Structure 1
Amino acid sequence: MADNGELGGVDGAGSRSTRTDTDTAGAASRRQALRRLAGVAGGAALAVGVGAGTARATGRPRTGVRTYVLVHGTHSAGAFWTAIGRELALRGHRVVAVDQPLHGTERFVPQAYRTQDPRALATEPSPVAALTLDDFERRVTDAVRRAARLGDPVVLVGHSMGGLSVSRVGDAVPELLAHICYMAAFCPSRTMPSLNACATSPEGQRAISPVDQVVGDPEKLGVLRLNWRTSSRRDLVVFKEMICADRTDAEFERELEGLQTDESLTAYADRAVGRAGTWGRIPRTYLRFGKDRTIAPELQDRMIAEADALTPHRRFRVHDFPDAGHLGPADPARLTDVLHGLRV
């Protein structure tokens, strides 16, 4: 365990986290319903230590409504959550899908990307280079603070690179969060303190890295730039294998439309390590995708194990989706079932 209370390493490859087979139906769904009832009954006790009792503090009754703050991954945007957000809203919850700075509705699109000028695209400057993980953290923390004022429990969910913000925000405002959830997301530790460190670990290197697809010199541009509109069949094959090898070509092409060219190199290198006394107080869940080629399952397992070694009294509850690639199951209801059933 780390001396400073941050996520530390463990010996051995296995994680002793509680695992749930999300593919079982019938009895599992009945147990889930009972757990939700038990969660409502026990919520007051949990709220004292975590801050899930904002509704009690404001005198508002607990209705089972939650606010889900959803954080997208690298080269992506809040629109990534459309299908899951719709399902959560139909179940009576509030949903806030965050666009990180210069992403989504405010995203930067290089002119050379519009015109597909390869030479110009390799050198065109990007304002995304100035972004740091602090900028991402502030954006998400602001959303969490505003959500908490509504009085219902706040659940923070991050996908992929969004896990960095989950860890940072969990450290910053643990009292505002009822639950945190990593969806095939980076969860750095003392031995792997950044996204870069996770990705370059032995487990991380089992993933597909688009090294040959990077446009320009990342060190000069300050961003990792990818040309999602490329006409190169070789590059498109790599992108599909990395992102959604388990999906159809039509689904892959739709996914490409939502991706942006640039992501901050600085944010990749910035530290995002949870601490036992803050982040470690919050109940947490990991959605493990067994055929993920962006964040290898082996890396997911190591991150889970190192987190659990830090807080053995509060471990990840792990839900396995063994056949899911990086985007998760094609049916959003399978993920929504888990998110809706989280204990708060």
Structure 2
Amino acid sequence: MADNKNVTGRRHVMRVAAGIGGAALAAGLGVPNASAADADGLGSRRRHAVRTYVLVHGTHSAGAFWTAIGRELALRGHRVIAVDQPLHGTERFMPEAYQTQDLPALATEASPIAALTLDDYERRVTGVVRRAARLGGPVVLVGHSMGGVSVSRVGSAVPELLAHICYMAAFCPSRSMPSLNACAASPEGQHAITPLDQLVGDPSKLGVLRLNWRTSDRRDLAVFKEMICANHSDLAFLRVLEGMQTDESMTAYDGRAVGRAEAWGRIPRTYLRFGKDRTVAAQLQDRMIAEADDLTPDNRFTVRSIPDAGHLGPEDPTRVTDMLHGLRV
């Protein structure tokens, strides 16, 4: 539980408590040799109907968040690569005190995730996109929640490799809200749930935002479910909790991730809007869409809405898969 004397400071850091998704096992990438002529993937796009979807998870999550959606996309004939960000998923850091549920020790145990920056996340995703482009065919980059800041960064870094970018209830920073923190701190972001009482330790000292997903406290569990998947069954919610990671980098939340109009702004883009999201509030989603469209009025978001979906989307993955499969490239 939060220490009362630290509530004000924690309220500030909890503005970044967004983009929380589920996790399990992550998909890998095997890349065949490619000729120099196809190194950027551009020539191949004209000759291959198969797309490659590069899927980026949100905070406290991992590539396996995309397991069900990725399976459906693969069954429709696409390649799917679910990215694990550094020290996430198959590389995940798990505090020893989390395993033992020693809560006093968990409040102070150091985390290597504190050293991660948004540059680290961008490099990981850009590296995967470069390798995916060598496979031939269009590359579609999709980010959920915090994954949106990587989409914006990578879209500015290698726009020539991307046929489409998609934000799924994801952060899309703008000139007036240049980071995830700034988006979450906006008036629209205040419609989200911020689990102040669920914080473990002092984020300003740990360098990470730490949550205990294994809690047995019914009030804490109710807050977590409302934040991330109120529209899911209790059993599905428990499956989500099993894959969550305790820590996320505070530094990464503050990283600037504004797409550049001349690069990111020329890639066709779609926003999957979830109307009952309590982590990236629908009001904030609308503002981010509007500000992106103001930046590039000749290349606006295509918005697809699921009005009854919470932050993780609908429990039936085919609803999202239909939308991703239907993206125009």
Distance 1:301 1:284 in 2: 15
Q: Does 1:86 align with 2:71?
A: yes
Partner of 2:119: 134
Partner of 1:151: 136
Question: 3-state SS of the aligned residue for 1:208?
Answer: coil
Partner of 2:13: none
Query: Quick one: higher RCO (CA 8 Å, sep 6+), 1 or 2?
Result: 1
TM (normalized to structure 2)? 0.87
Following superposition of structure 1 onto structure 2, how do residues 297-312 of structure 1 map, counting pairs within 5 Å?
297-312=282-297
Deviation at 1:63, TM superposition (A): 3.5
Distance 2:275 2:39 in 1: 35
Could you report, residue by residue, the CA deviation over 1:202-261 in whole angstroms, capped at 9, with x for unpaired residues?
A: 000100011111100101100000000011111111001001111111111000011000
Give the aligned CA root-mean-square deviation in angstroms: 1.4
AA aligned to 1:335 is: V
AA aligned to 2:306 is: F
Q: Does 1:114 align with 2:96?
A: no
AA aligned to 1:338 is: M
Following superposition of structure 1 onto structure 2, how do residues 195-344 of structure 1 map, counting pairs within 5 Å?
195-344=180-329
Deviation at 1:195, TM superposition (A): 0.6
Partner of 1:57: 43
Which consecutive unaligned segments of at least 5 residues does structure 2 have? 1-37
Question: Is this contact kept in 1: 2:140–2:162, CA < 8 A?
Answer: yes
Distance 1:301 1:274 in 2: 17
Question: 3-state SS of the aligned residue for 2:165?
Answer: strand
Deviation at 1:56, TM superposition (A): 6.0
Question: Is this contact kept in 1: 2:106–2:200, CA < 8 A?
Answer: yes
Question: Is this contact kept in 2: 1:72–1:159, CA < 8 A?
Answer: yes
Q: Does 1:188 align with 2:170?
A: no
Distance 2:41 2:87 in 1: 33
Q: How many residues align?
A: 292
Question: 3-state SS of the aligned residue for 1:155?
Answer: strand
Instruction: Show structure 1 runs of 4+ deviating over 6 A.
Output: none
Which consecutive unaligned segments of at least 5 residues does structure 1 have? 1-51
Distance 1:55 1:103 in 2: 28
Pair 53,331 (structure 1): closer, same or farther in 2 beyond 3 Å: farther
Deviation at 1:329, TM superposition (A): 1.1
Distance 2:165 2:46 in 1: 22
TM (normalized to structure 1)? 0.83
Question: Is this contact kept in 1: 2:48–2:136, CA < 8 A?
Answer: no
Question: Is this contact kept in 2: 1:131–1:264, CA < 8 A?
Answer: yes
Partner of 1:172: 157
Percent identity of paired positions between Structure 1 and Structure 2:
79
Question: 3-state SS of the aligned residue for 2:55?
Answer: strand
